[in-house]
Amino acid sequence: MADGRARPNPTDVTRVEAAPVQGFVGLTLCGRYELHGLIGSGGMAQVWDATDLILGREVAVKILHPHLSGDEAFVTRFRAEAVSAARLSHPNIVGVYDTCSDNGNEAIVMELLDATTLRTYLDEHHIVDSDTTIRIGLRLLDALEAAHRAGLVHRDVKPSNILLCVDGRVKIADFGIAKAEDQTELTQDGALVGTATYLSPEQLLGNKIDGRADLYSLGIVMYECLTGRVPFQGDTGAAVALARLHSVPLDPRRVRADVPADLAATVMRTLERDPDDRFNSAADLRAALLNTSVETQPVRSRPAVQIDPDPTDPGESFAKSERKWLYPALFILLVATALVIAGLLVRETTLDDESSGSASSATTSVPASSELAIADAIPFDPQGKGEPGENNQLKANAFDGDPKTAWRTEGYDTANFFGSKKGVGLGLILEEPALIDRVLIEGSTNGWSGSIFVIDAEDLDGVDPATSKPTATFQDVSGAVDLDLTQLDASQRTGSSVLIWITNLGSPQEDNRHRVEIAEITLTGSIATN
């Protein structure tokens, strides 16, 4: 899904002439940010790949176009809102690190990610399945809720501001920047065209807005993911705006019959013209998405291997889609009735056999799932230098039964280990080989990501997570992650050890260092039989 370096993000609009690229390569802004290459250009700014020479980290630098950097009132708003956005620290929000003014160049310094935009993905694939659409929506709602609590409305939620990271995280960019741009974009020729598609009616009318405007824009994004088209269309920006103010969008199921009915209803509610008729908050919309019939696991991560049903033909009729559930339901009812009758007959026969003294039948029991004993833990740092492992003296804290103690990684400058490592982890050695049913990890709340590997060995020698297939993966963990492995084949979850492999350390801690703490790991399953 990724297409190289991150884009935190040039806007949709590409009609304003960009500043010349020549002379920027190798330029150091404010004596600190060395520019390497142009990532992209939009109506508001250019985005450059750069290095922070003081902290030694890769960053993205967004440089305003000259027609905006020369507008003193705009620059004042731009800086103020960038400062507000920088106060937001959330795993689903692209971080704003700094503002910079140098020789007429106005810029903000942002987090650089290995990601692509949702806009790019939609342009290439057109459709996002319902389950993934919900997952994207949930992650964005986490970000919006945090921003709204801080009194900040995004104002420009659209696919080009949504980043899909290669490690599975979803992030939104340009918080606060849209407000600075607000007084300019609605009056400049061509500027409205790029964003009118996703603006709320109250924004188009110039009315006072709150967080419900962001929910409306997110509803349009989800509608486009599900159907491959936006709900309001027109030949010009003005036509799109008029359609939004005077027409009702087509139900997503009229466009694609395989969109779940309750998901379609949720999206339609976000697109109500009157803000009072929409969901009242990001939390309310999240609750509605969690209650949809599409199976999602926003906290409890999914096993890496999924058994999915055959996809529904998108060309089938609405009525045919509605009937799909009826035939299996009738079949299940008939089977259930037959099983009840069969059970009664078996019970009657068994009682007769017992009363007549005939031989009883043998039964085969399934091993009961219970907590598995952990013999030891091994901090795993295959690309580290010096003594193997990380914080080895704390390893027992991860399985001592006390959630107040924890094993933790070392601190890093960036969430992705600053490119020096693929990851670090903690291996758990079982007292006996076992069939693993469930892995429960209680730890950091900073949105970290990783994988688990069930290994048929009593140590981690020779294990290479970079080239091995994980048993399960998880993203954006906040608190506990509960991995249910029971749907996997026994051969995939039987072993003598379990490796928790951390691939992203999430948001920084109070000391501005990135690390993950694991307070307790619980493994449940049954002792393996030969």
Provide the annotated active-site residues. 156
By CB atoms closer than 10 A (0-12, 13-18, 19+), residue 439 is: buried
Q: Give Cα separations from 303 to 430, 437, 459 (angstroms).
A: 21, 11, 23
Q: Give Cα separations from 101 to 17, 26, 96, 98, 330 (angstroms).
A: 21, 17, 15, 10, 69
Cα separation, 287 vs 530, whole angstroms: 45
Going by their DSSP bridges, the two strands 96-102 and 57-64 should be labelled as: unpaired
88 contacts 110 by C-beta, under 8 angstroms? no
Cα separation, 176 vs 339, whole angstroms: 61
Amino acid at 108: I
Cα separation, 507 vs 90, whole angstroms: 7
DSSP H or E stretch at residue 261:
helix 261-270
Cα separation, 427 vs 412, whole angstroms: 20
Cα separation, 305 vs 470, whole angstroms: 9
3-state secondary structure 335-392: HHHHHHHHHHHHHHHHHHHHHHCCCCCCCCCCCCCEECCEEEEEEECCCCCCCCCCCH
Cα separation, 80 vs 84, whole angstroms: 6
